[in-house]
A and B are shown apart, each in its own frame.
Chain A
Amino acid sequence: MTTPIGYYPGCSLHGTGRELDQSIRALAEVAGVDLREIKDWNCCGATAAHSLNHDLAVALPYRTLALAEDQGLAEVLAPCAACFSRLKGTAVRLARDPKLAQKMTEITERPYRGTVRILSIIEFINRLLDAGLEAKLTHPLGGLKVAPYYGCLLARGEDIVDDDPEQPSGMERALVAAGCEVVPWNFAVECCGGGLSMSKTEAVLDLSDAILSDAEDAQADAIVTGCPMCHSNLDMRQRTINAAGRGPHDLPVVYLSEILGLAAGIEPERLGLDRHFVDAMRVAERMTERSA
């Protein structure tokens, strides 16, 4: 692949979602893809802008889209599921509503012709597989049982996600290629409480507990996700969930890109697997070496 793919890490990938950032960059390097971070990108506004002011909720992603277009990027990867949803949602609305596009041009004083295509982490990884990553997966994970967790933002949104909203399957090809066994389970598209993590922690504990329990019932060794928000609810708060008298759970929650990174033989630390709250290094232990 010679054309560079734009990269929009989003705010949480510098903080809570660091391992997602690390693993994406490492994986891109192995696959030989030129990831170019959009210069001077800004926050997508997330749930906050969306909740309080819908102009702002469009204007913030608009600026980033305009920057990407200006910087000559035809495709932009937004690995954070929330950012992906905001950016792509905005792109779809702008394409459908010229009046809104005009208004945004006025507000931001930036032109945008609508040429940027936003990729989710799943689309990106499937793209890498198309481009030959499969051959480079030299360390399959020896039948690691995984529960692919799509949550809300990688499953729903008719014009945003290109997958079956109730029975999504976008991650399966990559997981199977990485040597995992995908377990059938019930909570692949249930909500974890998402953006209300800090302000309605109680709800998040309930919902995340149910997700973890169902994955355990399905005998999963790990939950695989593509969303830093889900990740922080399921991983970072797993101890809190236990402390609240639920569970107890001890289930690693890993990013799709980490799984692929491991299968590609990248050292777990480089992928950020040591940064998890629930020990995820045990997933790395399942790496096997395939004779070339």
Chain B
Amino acid sequence: MAHTETHEKTLADKILERTGVDVRECYQCGKCTAGCPMVQFMDLTPSQVMRLVQIGDREAVQTLLSSQTLWSCVGCLTCTQRCPKDLDPAAVMDALREIAYQEGLVPDAQRNVLKFHQAFLKTVEHTGRMSEVPLTALYKTLSRDFFSDVLLAPAMLLRGKLPLVPRVIGGRKEVRRIFKRCLDPERPDRADEETQEDRP
């Protein structure tokens, strides 16, 4: 562990680039930690996350990207709202989560969060919108968490809150193309052919 170790580009620089937040401005007052509703589900407090980004050496990066915290943040913005330095810890969390996801560093314990997000996006990618039934089914398959919330389903059905037919929009191919371009900007745009069909 060496604070002085230099990198080609520090993590703080990367975060600055992605979010406009300069973590060097953080003076570790802890107000983000004090107000975070999810902090008891975190292994690193939000202020520790900020500190580790400041340190930015290999060990810090490793600790950060594999931490549970990134996947426990709900994005409620309490930290951002109250930060006296006008920083945006929530945005830092978002950026770190994205980096962790890209680098495949999601901790096992947080798989469910990831699976849920993936299931959600898969549903949207295919139909253009989110629908509870295919989403829940897909999530449960991906996460192998078959039993939680099962009790709610009949009651939801009863109240007309669980439409069984997924909603599909006309421009779903367009949405698929958007997905492809965002998720995989490097790959040649095969969706273009599909687009041709879309338009008479």
Interface 1/0s, chain B 105-149, versus A by CB < 8 A? 000000011111110110010001111100010010001000011
B29 on the interface (CB 8 Å rule)?
A: no
Smallest Cβ distance from A210 to chain B, in angstroms?
Answer: 9
Interface 1/0s, chain A 18-49, versus B by CB < 8 A? 10000000000000000000001111011111
Which of B8-16, B50-58, B59-67, B73-81 forms part of the interface with chain A?
A: B73-81
Total number of A residues with any Cβ neighbor in B under 8 Å: 57
CB-contacts of B175-191 with A (<8 A): 175, 178-179, 181-183, 185
Smallest Cβ distance from B6 to chain A, in angstroms?
Answer: 28
Given contacts A15-B161, A48-B117, A59-B182, contact A43 B77 (CB under 8 A): no
Given contacts A196-B74, A200-B113, contact A41 B169 (CB under 8 A): yes
Interface 1/0s, chain B 7-50, versus A by CB < 8 A? 00000000000100000000000000000011011000000000
The interface centre, meaning the residue of A18, A52, A158, A206 with most chain B CB atoms within 10 A of its CB, is A52
Residue of B nearest to A106 (CB): B181
B113 touches A15 (CB 8 A): no
Which of A135-143, A172-180, A187-195 forms part of the interface with chain B?
A: A187-195
Q: Which residues of B contact A274 (CB under 8 A)?
A: 159
Given contacts A190-B37, A200-B41, A236-B156, contact A51 B94 (CB under 8 A): yes
A275 on the interface (CB 8 Å rule)?
A: yes
The interface centre, meaning the residue of B114, B131, B175, B178 with most chain A CB atoms within 10 A of its CB, is B178
In Å, the complex CA distance between A14 and B128 comes to: 14
B130 touches A11 (CB 8 A): yes
Smallest Cβ distance from A37 to chain B, in angstroms?
Answer: 12
B194 on the interface (CB 8 Å rule)?
A: no
The answer, among B77, B163, B183, for a CB contact under 8 Å with A157, is B77
The answer, among A15, A18, A63, for a CB contact under 8 Å with B174, is A63
B120 touches A48 (CB 8 A): yes
B72 touches A196 (CB 8 A): yes
Given contacts A15-B161, A56-B179, A63-B174, contact A191 B41 (CB under 8 A): no
A108 on the interface (CB 8 Å rule)?
A: yes
A1 on the interface (CB 8 Å rule)?
A: no
A111 on the interface (CB 8 Å rule)?
A: no
The answer, among A46, A51, A56, for a CB contact under 8 Å with B130, is A46
A60 on the interface (CB 8 Å rule)?
A: yes
Report, nearest first, the 10 A-B pairs whose CB atoms are least far apart: A191-B76, A48-B120, A48-B117, A11-B130, A152-B76, A55-B182, A56-B182, A156-B77, A191-B37, A199-B116
- Which residues of chain A have a CB within 8 Å of any CB of chain B? 11-12, 14-16, 18, 40-43, 45-56, 59-60, 63, 107-109, 151-152, 156-158, 165-166, 189-191, 193-196, 198-203, 206-207, 236-237, 240, 274-277
- Which residues of chain B have a CB within 8 Å of any CB of chain A? 18, 37-38, 40-41, 72, 74-78, 80-81, 94-95, 97-98, 101, 112-118, 120-121, 124, 128-132, 136, 139, 143, 148-149, 151-152, 155-156, 159-163, 167, 169-171, 174-175, 178-179, 181-183, 185, 195
Listed by A's residue number, 8 A-B pairs whose Cβ atoms lie within 8 Å are A12-B130, A42-B169, A51-B98, A107-B182, A152-B77, A156-B77, A191-B78, A202-B41
Apart from A42-B129, A196-B74, list 7 A-B contacts with CB within 8 A. Answer: A48-B124, A51-B94, A52-B97, A54-B18, A60-B124, A196-B113, A199-B116
